[in-house]
A and B are shown apart, each in its own frame.
Chain A
Amino acid sequence: MITKKINCTVNGRQVSIEVDIRASLLDVLRDSLHLTGVKKGCAVGECGACTVLINGEPYDSCIYLAVWADGQVINTIEGECKEGRLSKVQQAFVDEGAVQCGFCTPGLIMSTTAMLQSGKKFTREEIKAELSGHMCRCTGYQNIIKAAQKALED
């Protein structure tokens, strides 16, 4: 087994960890750091369930090698709730009933959070385009888009 030491920031915390060169970032987040809010869906970059923010941008962590995380700032769903308070995006998903089975939710919240942090304005069509890398197999898209609209309005 070949490993490499990486240093990164995960949810605001400095992490120094020895990672297997074969591992995806998803593997390390789930299995080594126990951040199991990051979901493994398709494992090939099609469903978006494993989406995390790297330097503020959404990435599929399943097709991102763990060694690439060296020096990066990573945010997962676990870092969104602060001192017991849901983030604006999380609250909007609750309010709009945008959660059914919940498997796609962490990824969708991270992508919506990236949109919110960008400070840009998004039309409904633009929201759909920005969230198009996520699949909700419960097909709850209408409420997900409503939740994103709510989170992104002033």
Chain B
Amino acid sequence: MYDIVNYEEAGTVQEAIRLLQANPRARLIAGGSDLLVKIYKGKITDAELVSLRGIIALKDISIEGDGTVRIGACATFSRIAGHPLIRKHVPVLAEAVSRVGGPQIRNIGTIGGNICNGVTSSDSAPTLFALNALLRLEGADGTRVGPIQDFYLGPGKVDLRQAEVLTEILLTKENYQGFGGHYIKFAMREAMDIATLSCAAVCKIVGQNVIADFRLALGVAAPTPMRCLRAEEIARGRVFSEELLLETGRTAVTEVNPRTSWRATREYRLQLVEELSKRAFKQAFVKAGGVLL
């Protein structure tokens, strides 16, 4: 039995906010694949839960008139990976979330839970960082929308305020249209593993091989997921070449701060940062329609 002392189900986001206001000890549960394990392991005791599972609107994936792709925070990884809108407009996100755990975990785990968990090894975060995703947060004082980068405060710490609910992930058209993207999860196993290092690159080209835009994001390279802004700056406006790849990889290494853990040493991760940045950039370039010479 899980150490749960109270469990309530919200039918709407407003009801979830009210339940959180009424009980400051309560925490939100979506898929539960992280939270229930924390309870099982005793990291959370006397859990008081407010479930978001009954809020149908939070599972929605849709596109607005202006081309903004909206992903409900409670959309599962399976649903995102298989959704025609995601596969059409942001296939790199479908690829990335297909690397989470295994099929059973992807059927229950949600993208909002993955973000709010705040871990640097999240399989959705690097791609969402690279796509300049926006998060919509609803609370008692109203709604705020902000970049995902600002939401991550530290390991396991996110800017989710008291009685606030992450409701949507927004991908604006100018941030995905015309981009090719690639995600690499480096782990010891092909499934049911946590990334030793992860890397997402998105790239837009003009002509056959000029980099019009490039964004590079990493997981497990620092206490939170991160962007490599200097590496991005170096690549923009340049003609794609092996030399440019080397330079981008070398620059990315100067921006990161990985740690030594039982999965890998800092030194090993630094090598992975350089190598995976190059590989992801190259694949993103090809997927953007770039021609390798």
A residues engaging B (CB < 8 A)? 2, 4, 20-24, 27, 43-46, 48, 51, 57-60, 63-65, 67-68, 111, 129-130, 132-135
Q: Is the Cβ of B104 less than 8 Å from the Cβ of A59? A: yes
Q: Using C-beta atoms within 8 Å of the partner chain, give the interface range for chain B.
A: 20 to 34
Known contacts A22-B4, A45-B37, A132-B190: A68-B53 contact under CB 8 Å? yes
Contact A60 B2 (CB under 8 A): no
The residue in chain B whose Cβ has the minimal distance to the Cβ of A44 is B37
- Bound form: Cα–Cα A66–B7 in Å: 12
One of A2, A43, A134 near B40 (C-beta < 8 A) = A43
Interface residues in chain B, defined as those with a beta carbon under 8 Å from any beta carbon in chain A: 1-7, 9, 32-33, 36-37, 40-41, 51, 53, 78, 101-105, 107-108, 190-192
Inter-subunit contact A20/B1 (CB<8 Å): yes
Q: Tell me the complex Cα distance, A133–B33, Å.
A: 13
Q: Known contacts A129-B191, A132-B192; is A63 also within 8 Å of B37 by CB?
A: yes
**Contacting B1 at CB < 8 Å: which of A4, A23, A59, A111?**
A23
**Complex partner residue of A22 from B2, B101, B102, B103, CB under 8 angstroms:** B2
Please give the distance in Å from A87's CB to the nearest CB on chain B. 20
Q: How far is the CA of A58 from the CA of B53 in the complex (A)?
A: 18
Complexed CA–CA distance, A67 and B107 (Å) = 17
With a CB–CB cut-off of 8 A, which chain B residues contact A24? 2, 36
Shortest CB–CB separation between residue A61 and chain B, in angstroms?
Answer: 9
Using A45-B104, A45-B105, A133-B104 as known contacts, say yes or no to A63 and B33 having CB atoms under 8 A apart. Answer: yes
23 contacts between A and B (CB under 8 A): A2-B5, A2-B7, A21-B6, A22-B3, A22-B4, A23-B1, A23-B2, A24-B2, A43-B40, A44-B41, A45-B105, A45-B108, A59-B104, A60-B104, A64-B32, A65-B7, A111-B104, A129-B191, A130-B103, A132-B102, A132-B103, A133-B105, A133-B192
- Residues of A contacting B3 with CB < 8 Å? 22
CA distance A22 to B153 in the complex (A): 31
With contact pairs A2-B7, A20-B1, A63-B37 given, residues A46 and B192 touching in the complex (Cβ less than 8 Å): yes
Contact A48 B1 (CB under 8 A): no
Nearest CB in chain A to that of B103: its residue = A133
Give the residue name and chain of the A residue nearest to B2 (CB): A22
| Complex Cα spacing A8 to B37, Å | 25
A44 touches B2 (CB 8 A): no
Q: With CB as the reference atom, state the residue of chain A lying closest to B1.
A: A22
Q: Residue on B with the closest CB to A24?
A: B2
Query: B185 to chain A: closest CB distance in Å?
Result: 13
Nearest to A110 among chain B residues (CB) is B104
Interchain CB contact under 8 A, B102 and A63: no
Given known A-B contacts A45-B37, A46-B192, A63-B36, A58 and B7 have beta carbons under 8 A apart: no
* In the bound complex, CA of A66 to CA of B130 (Å): 38
Report the separation of the CA atoms of residues A67 and B1 in the bound assembly, to the nearest whole angstrom: 13
Contact A65–B101 (Cβ < 8 Å): no
Report the bound CA distance from A60 to B34 in whole Å: 13
Given the interface contacts A22-B3, A24-B2, A68-B53, does A51 sit within 8 Å of B104 by beta carbon?
yes
Which residues on the A side are within 8 Å of B101 (C-beta)?
A: 45, 133
- For B8, give the chain A residue with the smallest CB separation: A21
Minimum distance in angstroms from A105 CB to a CB of chain B = 16
Taken together as a complex, chains A and B put the C-alpha atoms of A154 and B1 apart, in Å, by: 43
- The answer to whether A21 and B7 touch across the interface, beta carbons within 8 angstroms, is yes
Tell whether, in the assembled complex, residue A27 and residue B104 are in contact, meaning their CB atoms are under 8 Å apart: no
Which residues of chain A have C-beta atoms less than 8 A from B78's C-beta? 57
| Contact of A111 with B32 at beta-carbon distance under 8 Å, contacts A22-B3, A27-B1, A132-B192 already known | no
Which chain B residue lies CB-closest to A65? B32
A45 surroundings in chain B (CB, below 8 A) = 33, 36-37, 101, 104-105, 108
In the complex, what's the smallest C-beta–C-beta distance from B76 to chain A, in angstroms? 10
A48 vs B101: C-alpha distance when bound (angstroms): 11
Beyond the given A44-B40, A67-B7, A129-B103, could you list 7 further A-B residue pairs with CB under 8 A, ordered by the A residue number? A2-B6, A21-B6, A21-B7, A27-B1, A58-B104, A59-B107, A63-B33
Tell me the complex Cα distance, A130–B104, Å: 9
Chain A neighbourhood of B7, CB < 8 A = 2, 4, 21, 65, 67
